[in-house]
Chain A
């Protein structure tokens, strides 16, 4: 049963990570572009590195969490453990995400040309 749970869990985590990563990648580009004063090649470079780092961090963390898994004997336990573990991963992702947005806000406030200036 544990093997099945691991396979399902890794599949769900992988799908969530990749989808969310792509959303961040597409929508975050604009912010980095503004922070770097419209330097397009550097922005794309940094954006891609950030995406890779995000994948590594999240998938690595998801794989690490396998160690803390209880032994599963019934379908109910399977459902519960997959749900709880996925929930933990999503919560971690959300916290990291909001932390990142706060960081972007603080940095852009410091050089102040971002929200108020006309592009």
Chain B
């Protein structure tokens, strides 16, 4: 056990991944409240609730994925191999996280567009002439 670097690799991998996920989720969902308010036409209660639900889902999905892929199958014997494997793992996870971030942003923009179109269709209705 003392010759193998696997344990050290896990001890580095886990905090890095957790902090990374926390940082991304925190930044994304702190700023997404504006979008949510737009989507729900300024109804703050439901916007905050939806935001919280999405944030929890984001954490679950990404941390779950990070833990799921954490296993290193080979036996690491020197620090160079450990660094290479760790950087490949963390880099891959970063790319995955970036894709998820942009997917979420796309969802927010799309939701805002859809809700704007809907309100544009709905608002002219009261102006119709009465029969």
Q: Do A and B come from one complex?
A: yes
- Chain A to chain B contacts (Cβ below 8 Å), 25 pairs: A20-B56, A23-B52, A23-B56, A24-B53, A24-B56, A27-B48, A28-B53, A30-B49, A31-B49, A76-B4, A76-B10, A80-B10, A80-B72, A83-B67, A84-B67, A86-B64, A86-B67, A87-B65, A89-B64, A90-B61, A91-B68, A94-B61, A98-B61, A116-B118, A116-B122
Q: Does the CB pair A27–B60 fall under 8 Å?
A: no
| A89-114 contact mask (Cβ, 8 Å, vs B): 1 or 0 | 11111100110010000000000000
Query: Closest CB of chain A to B125's CB: distance in Å?
Result: 11
Q: With A and B bound together, what is the CA distance between A101 and B50 in angstroms? A: 9
Q: CB within 8 Å of B: which residues of A?
A: 20, 23-24, 27-28, 30-31, 34, 74-76, 79-80, 83-84, 86-94, 97-98, 101, 115-116, 118-119
Residue B77 CB within 8 A of the other chain: no
Q: A87: which of B43, B54, B68 is its contact (CB, 8 Å)?
A: B68
Most buried by B among A74, A91, A93: A91
Q: With A and B bound together, what is the CA distance between A90 and B72 in angstroms? A: 20
Q: A88: which of B49, B54, B68, B118 is its contact (CB, 8 Å)?
A: B68
Q: With A and B bound together, what is the CA distance between A91 and B69 in angstroms? A: 11
- Judged by DSSP, the binding face of A is helix
Q: Hey, which chain B residues are within 8 Å of A76, CB to CB?
A: 1, 4, 6-7, 10
Q: Hey, which chain A residues are within 8 Å of B71, CB to CB?
A: 80, 83-84
- What is the size, in residues, of chain B's interface with A at 8 Å between Cβ atoms? 35
Query: Closest CB of chain A to B126's CB: distance in Å?
Result: 12
Q: With A and B bound together, what is the CA distance between A23 and B57 in angstroms? A: 11
Q: Does the CB pair A93–B60 fall under 8 Å?
A: yes
Q: With A and B bound together, what is the CA distance between A118 and B60 in angstroms? A: 32
Q: With A and B bound together, what is the CA distance between A34 and B45 in angstroms? A: 12
Q: With A and B bound together, what is the CA distance between A27 and B122 in angstroms? A: 28
